[in-house]
Amino acid sequence: MIKSIIAAKSNNNVIGKENDLVWHMPADLKFFKNTTKGHYVIMGRKTFESMNGPLPNRTHIIITRNPDYQVEGCFVVGDIEKAFQIAQKNQQDEVFILGGAEIYRQTIDKADKMYITEIKSTFDGDAFFPEINTNTWKESKREEYKADEKNPYPYAFVEYLKR
Ligand SMILES: NC(=O)c1ccc[n+]([C@@H]2O[C@H](COP(=O)([O-])OP(=O)(O)OC[C@H]3O[C@@H](n4cnc5c(N)ncnc54)[C@H](OP(=O)(O)O)[C@@H]3O)[C@@H](O)[C@H]2O)c1
């Protein structure tokens, strides 16, 4: 099973502020939806709570240290390995790690692949993507786009594979 991180980050590695995103980029939301639909998705409790309930057409695995936490229709687990085990047991070829910062930090060494949307601007934030070590990760694909009327910043869809 391929373990894939998916994230959107700014030039200064910001991914969020006050438990929310800091940009509105419909092209990235569309990419995220198309890439993850039909799959199992793993996320920290804070990222789950930053969304308006579960995303349609995806199976959610929420990580929390709170043993009483429950969400109808979602798996809730107490550690990251347990999250991978659930996806593995359900015959998944690829599982997606959706963040946030704490979860990316703890999974970047375990992941096989990363889908990174570069938002080409600098933002103020309080949640950051870890530094991507090019000794460990090799860029395998890059698609660059200009800003347009709907997407206010230039952006790129970049894929990395573990060396
Ligand atoms: N730009 C992007 O692509 C993107 C993607 C996702 C999220 N975000 C942003 O990232 C921010 C949220 O990130 P965050 O770092 O604050 O929170 P997070 O990683 O989403 O969730 C942190 C929570 O996960 C649980 N957790 C973490 N490690 C654990 C472990 N080893 N075992 C058990 N539970 C564990 C804890 O939950 P409990 O406190 O319940 O124990 C912890 O408080 C928001 O601003 C969000 O908008 C951005």
For the chain, domain boundaries: 10-93+101-146
Best probe residue, ligand 1, of 62, 63, 69 (max atoms within 8 Å of C-beta): 63
Residue 4 confidence (pLDDT) = 98
Residue 111 confidence (pLDDT) = 98
Q: Quick check: CB of 35 below 6 Å from ligand 1? A: no
Whether a cis peptide bond, with omega within 30° of 0, leads into 16 is: no
Closest among 16, 72, 80 to 43, alpha carbons compared: 80
Q: Phi then psi for 7, rounded to 5 degrees?
A: -155, 155
Q: Quick check: CB of 78 below 6 Å from ligand 1? A: yes
Confidence band, pLDDT 50/70/90 cuts, at residue 158: very high
**Strand order across the beta sheet in which 2-10 lies:** 75-77, 59-63, 40-44, 94-97, 2-10, 113-119, 155-162, 137-145
Strands 59-63, 75-77: parallel, antiparallel or unpaired by DSSP? parallel
CATH fold label, 10-93+101-146? Dihydrofolate Reductase, subunit A (3.40.430)
Q: Quick check: CB of 16 below 6 Å from ligand 1? A: yes
Q: Which atom of ligand 1 is nearest to the CA of 15?
A: 1
Q: Quick check: CB of 45 below 6 Å from ligand 1? A: yes
Q: Could you report the per-residue pLDDT of 116-151, keeping only the tens digit for each? A: 999 999 999 999 999 999 999 999 999 999 999 999
Mean pLDDT over 39-65 rounds to 97
Q: Quick check: CB of 121 below 6 Å from ligand 1? A: no
Q: Could you report the per-residue pLDDT of 67-125, keeping only the tens digit for each? A: 999 999 999 999 999 999 999 999 999 999 999 999 999 999 999 999 999 999 999 99
Confidence band, pLDDT 50/70/90 cuts, at residue 27: very high
